[in-house]
Amino acid sequence: MKKIISHVAFGLLGLSVSAAVVAGPAEDRAAFQKFYENRFPDTPVADFQNGVYSILPAAREQWEAIEEFPPYELSIERGEEIYNKTFANGKSMASCFGDDGAVRGQYPYWDRDRGMVVTMELAINECLEANGEKPLKYKKGAIADVGAFMSFNSRGQKVNVEIPSDDPRALAAYENGKEHFYTKRGQLNFACADCHMYTAGNLYRADTTSPAFGHATSWPVFRSKWQSMGTLHRRFAGCHNNIRANPYKAQGEEYRNLEYFVTYMSNDLEYNGPAARK
């Protein structure tokens, strides 16, 4: 019994509980970005899109060596093939996303008609299904390849997630993602914010945690640990596994709302995927 208790960490962050101020997304974002600018004063704001390499010069050198001929280039090529492949009905993905699929900057967005957050991966599968094709698995493989091709052609587009103020359901989805980000989970009792905000840049065993500001810009990613490409939701699930919390379903509501929040927090940075990460 004693053993069990000692495995359960219930640490309360030493923050004072101030009277609840009802702040909107815009105020949230300003406070969020300011937090990172204060924590990492040497990092130019635009550089946060490079993840942990924006705060870790030694790792950055190795990353630059990998980016000289990044393994994701093979993925971009595979993605281009899939993108241009003719469907049984004679069309291709270009009928949904244009000739080059440079639409990364349009996602994630709030779909008013359906009352839900739509991500690029979700849109890819909806395109396939609308054309009578089989949908792809959401975490790795073909979806990451197509995503790599589309993201590559979208490099430089601004992150510009909108939370329509006239639709309370959009705000609710945002709030849901926000709550998820700041909530402790799993046996290790960590919130996203614990590792990637309040202690971002600290060592967890052998690894430095990356700042959450900029987290959503560079996907899909070739991770050396995976030795393959993966989507943002694959990484979400990996993080949850690390803290011993059951992962949620890729492209389920929980992760889409989390993506909505995290991406909104990175507004004004640029999409720079695909990328290589350790």
Partner 1 sequence: MNRRSILKATGTITAAAAAVAAFPRLVFAAYSEKAFKNPKVEDSLNELFGANATTPSGDVKLKAPDIAENGAVVPIEVTTSMKADKIAFMVKENPNPLAIVAEIPEGTEATVKTRVRMGKTTQVTAVVSSNGKLYTASKEVKVTIGGCGG
Partner 2 sequence: MKHGLKVIAVGLALAVPSAFAGNGTTAEHIEAATAAYKKVAKETSYQWTVTVKAIKAAQKALDAGDDKAARELAHHAMALVEATRTQAKLESENWKMRVPK
Partner 3 sequence: MSSIRIKAKERKGSVNVKTLMKHNMETGLRKDKSGKKIPEHWITDVTAESGGKVVFTAAFNTSISKDPYLAFAFAGKKGDSLTISWKDNTGATDSAETVIK
- Residues engaged in binding partner 2 (CB under 8 A): 1, 4-13, 15-18, 20-21, 23, 28, 31-32, 34-35, 178-179, 182-189, 191, 193-194, 197-198, 205, 241, 244-246, 248, 254
Stretch that binds partner 3, among 72-80, 99-107, 164-172, 200-208 (CB under 8 A): 72-80
Q: Does 74 bind partner 3 (CB under 8 A)?
A: yes
Tokens of 61: 């050198």
| List of residues 6+ apart from 27 with CB closer than 8 A | none
* 166 interacts with partner 3 by CB under 8 A: no
Binding to partner 3 in span 90-129, by CB under 8 A: none
CB of 82 to partner 3, least distance (A): 13
Least distance (Å) from partner 2 to the CB of residue 9?
5
Q: Is 270 in the site for partner 1 (CB under 8 A)?
A: no
Q: Is 68 in the site for partner 3 (CB under 8 A)?
A: yes
Residue 228, beta-bridge partner list: 223
**Does the annotation count 239 as an active-site position?**
yes
Q: Could you give the CA distance from residue 185 to residue 191 in angstroms, rounded to a whole number?
A: 6
> Smallest distance from the beta carbon of 224 to partner 3, in angstroms?
9
Q: Is the bond preceding 108 in cis, omega lying within 30 degrees of 0?
A: yes
Contact 273, 219 (CB under 8 A): yes
164 phi and psi angles, rounded to 5 deg: -55, 125
Q: CB within 8 A of 186, min separation 6: which ones? A: 240, 243, 244, 245
Spatial neighbors of 233 by CB under 8 A, at least 6 apart, are: 121, 138, 139, 250, 251, 255, 259
18 sits near partner 3 (criterion: CB under 8 A): no
DSSP label of 190? B
C-beta of 194 vs 270, nearer to partner 2: 194
Cα–Cα nearest to 247, from 260, 259, 238, 256:
238
Residues 160-219 within binding reach of partner 1 (CB under 8 A): 195, 203-207, 209
Q: Which of 127, 192, 195, 239 is catalytic?
A: 239
Active-site residue set: 239
